[in-house]
Amino acid sequence: MLAAVVLAIEETAKRFVLPHTDELVWGSIAFFILFFALSKVAFPKLNEMLQERSNKIREGLEKSEQAKTEAEQLLEQYRRQLDEARGDAQKIIEESKRTAESLRQELVAKAEKEAQDIVTRARTDVMGEAERAKQQLRAELASLSLELARRVIERELSQPDSARQFVDRTIEELAGTGASNGGNGRSS
């Protein structure tokens, strides 16, 4: 029994797997007619559409490659310009530093020269004032000496002790009047 069931299953399986000969012939004829019609009508249009799409994709890739190349060139150009700008900026900074340093040195030299000029003028002024003070002192001393001599001569010179006392007293008076009269030395 089991053998009969297995045999029935095998026969059913053969029937589904192998078609009848007339179905096989008509199926093959229909396949070839359909294949011929598709190859004459649909396949050329399909190939044409695929070729157009392939061309568009190729053009897109070429354009994107060209754009990429241009972008890389622009990037390289930008980098060169940036490097040049950095170099120019560095040159400007260095030039500014040199200019500032030379300006500083000029200002320092000018200030030192002005200071030397001021010191020289001050020394000249001090020397002039000292010379004027000496001249004034000499004039005052001469005036006091003349006044002393005039008073001594007016007195009698026959009495040496009294003349000596008179000279000492007159010197003290003149010294006192010279200090009180502002140093002109004249006591009229």
The amino acid sitting at 24 is L
Distance CA 71, CA 67 (A): 6
Residue 48: CB atoms within 10 A of its CB come to 10
Question: Cα separation of 116 and 119, whole Å?
Answer: 5
CB 170 within 8 A of CB 159: no
Weakest mean pLDDT among 48-52, 64-68, 135-139:
135-139
Poorest-pLDDT segment among 41-50, 66-75, 139-148: 139-148
Tokens of 97: 């530093």
**Residue 184 burial (CB count, 10 A):** 13
- The residue-averaged pLDDT of 15-19 equals 63
Residue 186: is its pLDDT beyond 50? no
Percentage of the chain beyond pLDDT 70 is 83
What pLDDT does residue 142 have?
A: 76
pLDDT for 10: 73
Q: Please determine, for residue 2, whether its predicted confidence score (pLDDT) is greater than 60.
A: yes
Q: What is the pLDDT of residue 9?
A: 74
Tokens of 130: 């000292």
Q: Could you report the per-residue pLDDT of 165-181, keeping only the tens digit for each?
A: 777 787 787 777 665 55
Q: What does the pLDDT read at residue 180?
A: 55
Query: Could you tell me if 185 and 174 are in contact, meaning their C-beta atoms sit under 8 angstroms apart?
Result: yes
What's the pLDDT tens digit per position in 91-149?
Answer: 999 999 999 999 999 999 999 999 999 999 999 999 998 889 888 888 887 788 777 77
Number of neighbours of residue 33 by Cβ within 10 angstroms: 10
Query: How does residue 32 score in pLDDT terms, banded at 50, 70 and 90?
Result: very high
pLDDT of residue 23: 83
What pLDDT, on a 0 to 100 scale, did the predictor assign at position 145? 78
The whole-angstrom separation of Cα 91 and Cα 97 is 10
Residue 185 CB burial class (10 angstroms; 0-12, 13-18, ≥19): buried
d(CA 186, CA 178): 7
Query: DSSP letter string over 98-153?
Result: HHHHHHHHHHHHHHHHHHHHHHHHHHHHHHHHHHHHHHHHHHHHHHHHHHHHHHHH
- The residues, any chain, with a CB within 8 Å of residue 98's CB and separated by 6 or more, are none
- Percent of the chain at pLDDT exceeding 90: 47
